[in-house]
Amino acid sequence: MKEKTFTKLLLSMVVSLLIISNTSFAQNILIKSAPLNQDFVKYKNITKLTKDGFGLGEIPAAEKPNFSYIVKNAAKYAPKVLGGIPLGPAPPASEPSISDAIYDLRAHNLVTVPKNQGSCGACWTFATMGSIESYWKKNGYGTYDLSENNLKNCHGFTSAPCDGGNYFKSMAYLSRLKGPIYDSLDVYSTSVHDCNPDLAPAAFVMEARFIVNTPEILKQALLNYGGLYTNMRWEDSSYNSVDKTYFYGGVSSNSTNHAVLLVGWDDTKITAGGVGAWIIKNSWGTSWGESGYFYISYNDTKVNTSVAYFPSKLDYNSDLKQYYYDNFGWVSSFGFTDSVAYGLTKFTAESNEKIDKVGTWVNSAGANITIDVVDSTSGILATVSKFCDYPGYHVLDLTSSVNITAGNNFYIRVKYSTPTYNYPITTELASGCTPTIQTGKCWISKTAASWTAIGGGTAYARNLCIRAYSTPQDITCSVSAGTDKTICNGSSVSLTATGATSYLWSTGATAATISVNPATTSTYYVTGTTGACTAKDTVIVTVNPLPTINAGIDKTICNGSSTSLTATGATSYLWNTGATTATISVDPAITSTYYVTGTTSTCYAEDTVIVTVNSLPTANAGSDVTIISGDSTVLTATGGTSYLWSTSKTTASITVKPIINTVYYVSVYNASACMAIDSVKVSVTTASCSVSAGTDKTICKGSSVSLTATG
């Protein structure tokens, strides 16, 4: 019930804000601004050049980060790696630690070569880029040369490019996602040039941390994050050019004027301030100091007054959009004289996008922030919280992205809780910059139950330092290339893609359906496009080899005979006779061709075998004969080219002398070796017999007479 009640109140509040956006309602509570940094107040007519002509340009910030939480909770910070991760067991002896007498980033190749700022007061840009370059090297991103010139010319504040800056200016520039730029695209010059705002960043630096001047914390930060932006007060008389050491022991109320890069420590180094020194990378070229470096005493009264590092690198993404009004970031803080306060900012979605990250400036160590993404229809869409060890600019990833619709309003609400600081809300106002103060876009509250409008037309001409990061919405689309196919070698198959409006196959075809006939098993890719969304799918066409079918050698038979045909090379067979066995028997009457189809894994092939049928010879053993017992007779066979009698004789004619009636068989072969059989019967009779020529006849001369024999 509590959450529902809050949501209703919030929705009611949002609607009310749309109507009375510039009205302070239901909240008659004193609102106070944080005190100004006294170094900033005193900063004027400070020396801007060294005696050697090098520029000095570190300007004190209008407001200092609050580190009182660390003072009250020192035990929480001493045993921790910055960022809230416990140190754990002591590192191996080979690993550097804060107990080492000397640690130098140069020895570990974790710092880039010193550059020369010349007479321009741009030291702060070199300290900033040097810190980023060192952090990127330490994290294995490679060696970068980033543009100090682009930061110098494009910071956007009212001060001229060579009139100085600080880490607030640096992070304001970086937080706009306009830099850092590759140095090769915007090479450093002491001359003043117009800003080139259209160069693509080398990457995005999304965050900054401002850390306290405690030796152990600084040493641990060097080990964890590489080079640190730091500042100091430069006086020519405090520098020892012989041993390259520096010690300023003046009153701490004097403001800083120079920004450098802290790259290590040497507990044994002797300076005018005693034993022990920080190792500093300067920006006055490699011919100055110790090849561009020098040592500053631990006991220097102004060194490390403002220390920062930039712990992020997000690959450049042209689709990343940022919603914000605080172009110059955190300039001043205020609140309700209490450690808890709320800020609410309204934005209007420019297109259909998704919010992935939210960010805000945090002004106090030990702060807790809770950020809600809200709209007037659904209430709270996402919530994310974070404990902030250190002040700076913090970006929080949402657990899941929130879709926003073009033209619709959405709100980012931040609850700031700074336990030791009564000015929790970071704001932008016109102090050293010319912000565009929004009207009806920002509200603040002590309890989130009632809200006060700030911005244009109110007593509080400020923008809240609240931001949202979006990318184009994920357009869900899909494509299907269909189920995998299996074909036989030499065959083709149709592939059909579905699910999109246009298609591109790996064959180059753009139709939804294509025909392919690969020689080997192949994978085909299809890209389907629907609007701006593309999806891919694959389909595999498996090519099975054809079986090698053999129906056997051709056969020759004689008419009336049969023969066996045997097929090999497949797992199943089908003959044109209808038989489905590998071996079949055939007895064609004429020469015939037999076909067999062999199949293996649905693939088939054919073969043929010819059965030649030769005709039989016309066998004739001759007419039956009768002989008198004791006589012989000649039997003659015709119709072939060779013969085989039942007497085993192989001649066409044989002489036989049977003593009884006998049937003789002859096998007659033609030229095709085909055979026919005939038979002849030889009858045997006894010798008894008579004959009569008839009676004698008398005729006249010239006449004829018939004679008839009988018997």
May I ask the CATH class of domain 2-21+30-35+319-472?
mainly beta
| Buried b or exposed e, range 462-471, using 16+ CB within 10 angstroms | bbbbbbbbbe
Which CB contacts under 8 angstroms, 24+ apart, belong to 219-222?
219/98, 219/103, 219/265, 220/81, 220/82, 220/98, 221/82, 221/307, 221/309, 222/103, 222/105, 222/262, 222/263, 222/264, 222/265
How far is C-alpha 167 from the geometric centre of its chain's CA atoms?
36
Asked if 282 is an active-site residue, the reply is yes
Contact between 182 and 150 under an 8 Å Cβ cutoff? The reply is no
Give the model's pLDDT for residue 47: 59
Give the model's pLDDT for residue 12: 43
385's CB contacts (< 8 A; 6+ apart) are: 368, 369, 370, 371, 396
The residue type at 72: K
Q: Where are the domains of the chain?
A: 2-21+30-35+319-472, 102-309, 485-543, 555-614, 625-685
Q: From 3.10.580.10, 3.90.70.10, 3.30.300.160, 3.30.230.10, which CATH number describes the 102-309 domain?
A: 3.90.70.10
Contact between 248 and 231 under an 8 Å Cβ cutoff? The reply is no
DSSP readout, 486-517?
Answer: EEETT--EEEE-BSSSEEEETTS--SSEEEE-
Query: Is the C-alpha dihedral spanning 156, 160, 162, 164 positive or negative?
Result: negative
| Secondary structure class of 31 (helix, strand, coil) | coil
Contact between 480 and 499 under an 8 Å Cβ cutoff? The reply is yes
What is the maximum span of the chain, computed from C-alpha positions, in angstroms? 197
Give the model's pLDDT for residue 165: 93
pLDDT tens figures, 552-606:
999 999 999 999 999 999 999 999 999 999 999 999 999 999 999 999 988 999 9
Give the model's pLDDT for residue 694: 84
DSSP symbol at 577: T
| Token pair for 212 | 């306290």
Which residue from 428, 440, 363 is spatially nearest to 156, judged by alpha carbons?
428
Which CB contacts under 8 angstroms, 24+ apart, belong to 579-586?
586/562, 586/611
| Secondary structure class of 11 (helix, strand, coil) | helix
Whole-angstrom CA distances from 638 to 399, 548, 624, 647 are 109, 48, 14, 16
pLDDT tens figures, 115-151:
999 999 999 999 999 999 999 999 999 999 999 999 9
> For 613, phi and psi rounded to 5 degrees?
-110, 115
Asked if 153 is an active-site residue, the reply is no
Contact between 206 and 312 under an 8 Å Cβ cutoff? The reply is yes
The ranges of the chain with pLDDT < 50 are: 1-27, 79-90
Tell if the pTM clears 0.85, that is, is over it. no
In the set 282, 363, 422, 463, the catalytic residue is 282
Rounded Cα gap, residues 265 and 223, in angstroms: 11
The residue type at 83: G
Which residue from 134, 129, 110, 121 is spatially nearest to 53, judged by alpha carbons?
121
Rounded Cα gap, residues 291 and 244, in angstroms: 10
The residues facing 654 across adjacent strands are 635
Which residue from 219, 221, 214 is spatially nearest to 309, judged by alpha carbons?
221
Give the model's pLDDT for residue 71: 87
> For 452, phi and psi rounded to 5 degrees?
-120, 125
- Other Cβ atoms less than 10 A from the Cβ of 93: the count is 6
Which residue from 130, 148, 129 is spatially nearest to 189, judged by alpha carbons?
148
Rounded Cα gap, residues 371 and 413, in angstroms: 6
Asked if 155 is an active-site residue, the reply is no
DSSP readout, 683-697?
Answer: EEE-S----B--S--
| Token pair for 607 | 């073969």
DSSP symbol at 163: B
The residue type at 199: L
In the set 66, 120, 123, 162, the catalytic residue is 123
In the set 149, 150, 231, 258, the catalytic residue is 258
The residue type at 265: W
